[in-house]
Structures are given as C-alpha cells and as structure tokens.
Amino acid sequence: MGPRVKFLSGEQGIAEAAAMLRDGMLVAFGTETVYGLGGDATNAQAVARIFTAKGRPQFNPLICHYASGTDAFADVIPNAAAQHLAAQFWPGPLTLVLPRRAGSAVQLLAGAGLDTLAVRVPAAPPARALLAQTGRPIAAPSANRSGSVSPTDATHVVAELAGRIDAVIDFGPCIVGLESTVLDLSGERPVLLRPGGIPAAAIIAAIGPITHSDASTALRAPGMLRSHYAPSLPVRLGATSAAPDEALLAFGRVELPSPVMWNLSETADVTEAAARLFAGLRYLDSAGRTAGLRGIAAMPVPETGLGIAVNDRLRRAAAPREG
C-alpha cells in the first residue's frame, strides 16, 4: 500500500506542491491562521473535490487565497474601505467579502454561486511563496473534516484527511492559531461575519463602525453554523475547575490542576490562548476519551483582543450539535 497522503516540506516541497495544485490536485498547507485544504479555484473538479474531502454538508462558499492584494483585487471589486484595510492588514489574517468581477476565472462553486467572493492574502511566508509559485487563486477552507476542530499543525491534517487529499505541506505550527476575521464589504455597511485573527477593534479604528453579524445577516455567512469546531466530548463553558470526570481547558494560573489538562496561557495572555486553542481541544478530546472522561470544562477567557475570537470558537464548540 502506498502512502495515503504525500508529505512535503522545504523549498523542494513548495515547488512540488505548486505543480500539484496547478494540475488540479488538493494540497493542504499552513498559513498564519490554520492549515487550509487548497485547490485551484479556477478548476471545477478541484473545487468540487474540496467539498467532498471535507464532507461539507452543503456548498459553503470558500475563501480564495492570493500572493498579493493586486492579485486578489483582480477577482473582486474593492471599494475604498477594502483598499484601506488591504493596505493596513494584508498580508494577514483578514478576509474581505466583495462583489466578484464579471471576468473572474474563479469557479462559481468556489463562491457557492454567490455574486460575492471572499478573498485573503495570508501572511505566513511559505504560504505566500506557494501562492506566488502556483500563480492561481487557491480556494482553501480550513483543512479539517466538516464541523470538527481546525488544524494548526500538519499532523492534525494527516490525522483527518489522509486518503482524501493528495498532499500536505508542513509549514510548522500556525502562529495565530485561529481563523481569519471575515468582513463583508459588499453591502451598504461593513458586516463582521466572523471574529478572527484581526480584532474587530483594529478594523473599527481603520474604517469606523461595523455591524456585527446576527440572524438577519447569518445567511451571508452560511458557513457559520452555531455548532462548529466541535470535539467529540461535550464542552462546558465558564468552568472554575474540572469535575473528577472532566478534562480541563485552563486559562491563567490554576489552583486545582486536573490530571487531563491543557493550559491556554499560564500568563493569561489572550493571543497565546488563540494560538493554543485548537491544539488544546484536540489534545483534551483525545486524552480525555482515553482516560474515560465525560467532557471538557473550559475556564473563562476575557472578551478582549483575540479573546473575542477564542470565545466565539469555544461557544461553537459547546453549542448543541446540529448533526
């Protein structure tokens, strides 16, 4: 039996991954946020295979990744706010939803048939090198099976997607550790669809007030299911300590250490907590199940900076499962 997924790394790996992507194959790669499951956004079959590989229950629109803002704005029409944000935050963990250009070669399926497209220029240098060498817009959802925790390490990708994708390129652990902020600039007012790597406060400082996504805008981010990022063990929020049959997702100094514990940040740093969140959920899920525990108790994280996105992901991890 051959390898179920090709494992690439280094300069040579980037060249090989770029060639595979141009051939329509699926290659997972690291960004500063999380690992993405990449495919050529202009290739119908590659885009369709992304949905199959993830097991997405419906066609959620995908983010297209580019080596530069100029490349991104060749597929969408930027307004003044988009130009401003791109100049300030790209490359970086910010995704902009904008009207797609009529001449764009991006497959309609990549945008789930919407007349908008989500675009982003990742900051991680190896990811930018890969995108530059590929020379195509790369559609890439997080490289996890639908509904589960996003991968922040190449080994997470192999664990979930071996046999479903062609290769994974190891770019090391993700620095930010949770997904990009998604901002919809296609309507009259900017709407925050998903809190993420760039805090909302920084966006407001740059372009003024933004609307936060609610039920009336929920349809614009069809990927934002309430239950998401879910480990298999149930998650209990707002815990001060773990019960004997619970694993503990800790934050800050802990008075009562638990046998199965992951501390997001002993120094109570929300940025460190963001970087360690998904790896921690994976660890506690697996170690907790091995130890026969019944759930994960999560200590509170402050609603400041990246703590807002951490809490968003924790609430989704704890939400009633939608199947």
Instruction: Summarize as ranges the residues that interact with ligand TXA (CB under 6 A).
Output: 31, 33-34, 36, 60-63, 93, 95, 97, 111, 114, 116-118, 120, 140-142, 179-180, 182, 184, 193-194, 220-224
CB of 307 to ligand TXA, least distance (A): 17
194 makes contact, choosing from Mg ion, ligand TXA, none, with CB < 5 to 8 Å by partner type, with ligand TXA
User: What's the CA gap between 53 and 157, in Å, rounded?
Assistant: 12
Residues 6 and 168: beta-carbon distance below 8 Å? yes
Partner from ligand TXA, Mg ion, none binding residue 199, C-beta < 5-8 Å depending on class: none
Nearer to ligand TXA, 116 or 263 (CB): 116
* Residue 95 contact, options ligand TXA, Mg ion, none, Cβ 5-8 Å cut-off depending on partner type: ligand TXA
By C-beta, is 243 or 319 nearer to ligand TXA? Answer: 319
Could you give the CA distance from residue 170 to residue 21 in angstroms, rounded to a whole number?
A: 15
Q: Which is nearer to ligand TXA, 195 or 295 (CB)?
A: 195
240 vs 248: CA distance, rounded Å:
9
Q: Min. distance of Cβ 230 from Mg ion in angstroms?
A: 11
How far apart CA 15 and CA 95 sit, in angstroms, is 26
Instruction: Compute the least distance from the CB of residue 180 to ligand TXA, in Å.
Output: 4
Residue 167 three-state SS: strand
Decide: 196 and 109 in contact? Cβ < 8 Å.
Answer: no
Which is nearer to ligand TXA, 14 or 34 (by Cβ)?
Answer: 34
Cα separation of 7 and 9, whole Å? 7
Query: CB of residue 9 vs ligand TXA: minimum separation in angstroms?
Result: 18
Q: Which amino acid is located at 37 in the chain?
A: L
CB of 162 vs ligand TXA, minimal distance in Å: 18
* Burial of residue 213 (number of CB atoms within 10 Å: 0-12, 13-18, 19+): buried
Among residues 179, 158, 199, the alpha carbon closest in space to that of 316 is found at: 179
Taking the complex as a whole, how short is the minimal distance between the CB of residue 31 and Mg ion, in angstroms? 12
70, HSE (Cβ side, Cα atoms, 13 Å): 2
Binding-site partner at residue 6 among Mg ion, ligand TXA, none, CB < 5 to 8 Å by type: none
**Using an 8 Å Cβ cutoff, are 179 and 150 in contact?**
yes
Question: Whose Cβ is closer to ligand TXA: residue 6's or residue 54's?
Answer: 54
- Indicate which of ligand TXA, Mg ion, none lies near residue 60 (CB less than 5 to 8 Å, by partner kind): ligand TXA
User: Which CB atom, from 175 or from 207, has the smaller least distance to ligand TXA?
Assistant: 175
* Chosen from ligand TXA, Mg ion, none, partner binding at 31 (C-beta under 5 to 8 Å by type): ligand TXA
- Options 33, 142, 181, 213; binder of Mg ion; rule CB under 5 A: 142
Query: Which C-beta is closer to ligand TXA: that of 33 or that of 265?
Result: 33
Distances (CA, A) of 77 to 117, 118, 137, 154, 184: 10, 11, 15, 34, 13
How far apart CA 179 and CA 32 sit, in angstroms, is 9
Applying CB under 5 A, which residues contact Mg ion? 142
